[in-house]
């Protein structure tokens, strides 16, 4: 994936911006401008909460190029609380503790360093849901 492609998907990678279909109400991620449920145009932005649970996961021992430094790392399909599935790495977790149904939340992390040009690519990963994010912080308190 080249730099322009990363640029085009920045809203998705940094903020999980997808779409909502105003015809059938489907929440869509990644965005595709045509509703996969009713095949009608759907391009209204919808920002997902970033919370969900692990639908499936795998720990990779033989990586594609560019991911050697992370081995072994755990990838997952996460079921977002709004419905869609999303593919991402898990982070801040012992692979042995990962299980299907584990509550997770999106965080921004380094995905890789891109080839000879050396750009550092950031994007979403998911970590175990922190307990204190379940309740809103008191107003005025630093995040």
Partner 1 sequence: MRDVSIIGFGQTPVGEHWELSLRHLAAQAVLAAMQDAGIERADALYVGNMLSSETSGQHHLGALVADFVGLRGIEAFRVEAACASGAAALRAGYLAVASDAADLVIVAGVEKMTDSIGNSITTALAEAADADYETPHGLSFVSINALLMRRYMYEFGVRHEDFAGFAITAHQNAVNNPYAMFRRPITKEEFVQARMIADPINLLDSSPVADGAAAVVLCPTEQARSFTDHPVRIRACEVGTDSLALHDRRDPLFLEAGYISVQKAYARAGVTPADIDLFELHDAFTIMAALSLEAAGFARRGEGVRLAMDGSIARNGRIPISTMGGLKGRGHPVGATGIYQVIEVAQQVTGRAGANQVPNARLGMAQNIGGSGATIITTILEA
- Report the first-to-last Cα separation within the chain, whole angstroms: 33
Residue whose CB is less far from partner 1, 5 or 143: 5
Work out whether 1 is an interface residue with partner 1 (CB under 8 A).
Answer: yes
Q: Which one of the spans 19-27, 44-52, 60-68, 127-135 is the region binding partner 1 (CB under 8 A)?
A: 60-68
Q: Which one of the spans 19-27, 39-47, 57-65, 133-141 is the region binding partner 1 (CB under 8 A)?
A: 57-65
Largest CA-CA distance found in the chain, in angstroms, rounded: 47
d(CA 56, CA 50): 17
DSSP β-bridge partners for residue 120: 113
Convert residues 80-119 into a mask of x (bound to partner 1 by CB under 8 A) and - (unbound).
----xxxxxx----------x----------xx-------
Work out whether 123 is an interface residue with partner 1 (CB under 8 A).
Answer: yes
Look at residues 53, 43, 60, 112 and name the one whose alpha carbon lies nearest to residue 77: 53
| CB of residue 66 to partner 1, shortest distance in Å | 8
Q: Could you say which of 53, 73, 81, 103 contacts partner 1 (CB under 8 A)?
A: 73
Residue 82: DSSP 8-state: T
Report yes or no: 12 and 32 within 8 Å, Cβ to Cβ: no
């Amino acid at each position: 994936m080249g730099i322009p492609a990363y640029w085009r998907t920045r809203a998705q990678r940094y903020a999980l911006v997808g779409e909502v279909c105003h015809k059938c109400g489907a929440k869509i991620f990644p965005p595709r401008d045509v509703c996969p449920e009713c095949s009608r145009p759907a391009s209204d932005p919808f920002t997902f909460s970033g919370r969900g649970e692990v639908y499936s996961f795998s720990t990779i021992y033989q990586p594609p190029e560019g991911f050697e430094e992370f081995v072994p790392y755990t990838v997952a399909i996460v079921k977002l609380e709004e419905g869609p599935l999303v593919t991402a790495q898990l982070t801040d977790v012992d692979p042995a503790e990962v299980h299907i149904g584990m509550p997770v939340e999106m965080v921004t992390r380094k995905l890789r360093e891109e080839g000879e040009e050396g750009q550092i690519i950031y994007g979403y990963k998911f970590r175990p849901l922190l307990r204190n994010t379940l309740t809103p912080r008191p107003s005025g308190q630093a995040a």
